[in-house]
Structure 1
Amino acid sequence: MNPLVAPEPSAHGGRTALSVNLNKVALLRNTRHLGIPSVTRAALQVLEAGAQGITVHPRPDERHIRAQDVHELADLLKAWPHIEFNIEGNPFHNLMDFVRSVRPHQCTFVPDTVGQFTSDHGWSFPADAERLRPVIAEAKALGVRVSLFMDPVPQAMRAVRELGADRVELYTETYASAHGTPQQDEVLRRFTRTAEAALAVGLGVNAGHDLNRDNLTDFLRAVPGVQEVSIGHALIADALELGYTETVRDYQRCIQRAFA
């Protein structure tokens, strides 16, 4: 097993862990050839502010996170053994190269196409099951926890567990779009039922996509057992106005309010 695997988020007082996705920092950096803003410097600042994890999604075209970033972050995190490194992406494109070379604490398998603008759906069961089976087995043999990016479909959770995955990451864009509308409660109930189904079969529950300071607390109050949220776009946008430190602290306050 990977000797650097971070403790489960129960070590954070039973609250949900915050993993900061740094893709948008890299996207801004890549518009010039000056190396700023620095991805590793951003990582250091959010960790010093209290984030419990770092997430990156290195796509094949390297339009934001590059291979060098992944390895530099892995080196940085050697000094932070209690921090979780989560690398996400499509295991049938470039992701498994990083899983093999870096051996992060967690890999999140996402069914992106090569040129996809952003993640917009989860894996389909049973259609994707058999091709996922060998890459899940390989990652676990390397000591890497496996999470599958999934839509809120309760009946799929048992099949995910039987395939060997450790967690699901619930794709929360539909919730974020419905937040503050008359449809919010109905949409949120699907996530609640899916999380309950996941927990019932022994899966851990993560969540991410379009979560922000306005909708995060409501989500965590309603959806049981969320161990980790991965937040990038909104958090980095907030940091442009508030700075990394105050932004991370504010997201942590959102999480704390959900557990108050």
Structure 2
Amino acid sequence: MTRLSVNINKIATLRNSRGGNNPNLIQVAKDCERFGAQGITVHPRPDERHIRYADVYELKKIVTTEFNIEGNCQEQKFVDLVLAVKPEQVTLVPDALGQITSNHGWDTIKNQDYLKEIIAVFKKAGIRVSIFVDPVVEMVEAAATTGTDRIELYTEAYAHQYLNNKDLAVAPYIKAAETAHQLGLGINAGHDLDLNNLQFFAQNITSLDEVSIGHALVSDALYLGLENTVQMYLRQLAK
């Protein structure tokens, strides 16, 4: 079964908008695990507009499933944080400074030497590495020679095209995932996956290890409740 990692960035955004500690980020992480989530994901950024670096240290103390820290490894502060916390997984994302949200994967051909170097740093520390990639076979093939353990397929294009033609939307992801599987890479996915499109994606990407979902899940929880929402996402992955 594909594992569900809940990205709690939006909980931190809501907390930060008012100050104080409401909602309680640590309690939400505990509750997500209690409700069935198999992982917690955070994506700290330099301006700490949602997840703060201090949050990451506190979460490490209480997360009992799998802790995944994603972010821009070209920022030394991020590298230092990950090496200090030692999560089960680090996901490397090629964000630009001040970027609102992730919007593209690595060019694993152009950045081959850099990726080899930085991935080796994390793996030496015993941290599993995943790198964010677009569903392009050539990028997956080049990712396999960087030393990464997994790739995370960037699924925004799939989500945007799903309502128009779901078979066409998922086709490049099937090819990319088949290539990754053949090359011995684990496969994660994330970005704009939701209750409408998740099941079809998971059914077609049969070797899918993990999905990371935050914005849609937190938004759904406003109407459906957090416990019910987490379990609804888990059911989509189980079908």
Normalised-by-shorter TM-score class: over 0.9
Instruction: Quote the Cα distance in structure 1 between the aligned partners of 2:141 and 2:48.
Output: 34
Which one of 32, 47, 53 corresponds to residue 46 of structure 1? 32
> What's the counterpart of residue 31 of structure 1?
17
Q: State how 1:102-121 maps to structure 2 within 5 Å.
A: 102-121=85-104
> What's the counterpart of residue 154 of structure 2?
171
The reply to whether residue 221 of structure 1 matches residue 203 of structure 2 is yes
Offset of residue 120 of structure 1 = 0.3
Offset of residue 138 of structure 1 = 0.5
> What's the counterpart of residue 141 of structure 1?
124
Which blocks of at least 5 consecutive residues in structure 1 are unaligned?
1-14
Instruction: Quote the Cα distance in structure 2 between the aligned partners of 1:104 and 1:125.
Output: 23
TM, length-normalised to structure 1: 0.90
Q: State how 1:1-260 maps to structure 2 within 5 Å.
A: 15-77=1-63, 80=64, 83-93=65-75, 94-182=77-165, 184-257=166-239
Matched position secondary structure for 1:125 = coil
The share of aligned pairs that are identical, in percent, is 48
Offset of residue 111 of structure 1 = 0.3
Contact 2:149 / 2:186 at 8 angstroms: preserved in 1? Answer: yes
Offset of residue 201 of structure 1 = 0.4
Contact 2:134 / 2:153 at 8 angstroms: preserved in 1? Answer: yes
Which blocks of at least 5 consecutive residues in structure 2 are unaligned?
none
Which string of whole-angstrom CA distances, capped at 9 and with x for unpartnered residues, describes residues 90-125 of structure 1?
101132112110000000000001100100000013
Contact 1:88 / 1:95 at 8 angstroms: preserved in 2? Answer: no
The number of aligned residues is 238
Offset of residue 58 of structure 1 = 0.2
Offset of residue 186 of structure 1 = 1.8
The letter of the residue matching 1:119 is S
Offset of residue 157 of structure 1 = 1.9
Runs of 4+ in 1 over 4 A off after TM superposition: none
Offset of residue 187 of structure 1 = 2.5
TM, length-normalised to structure 2: 0.97
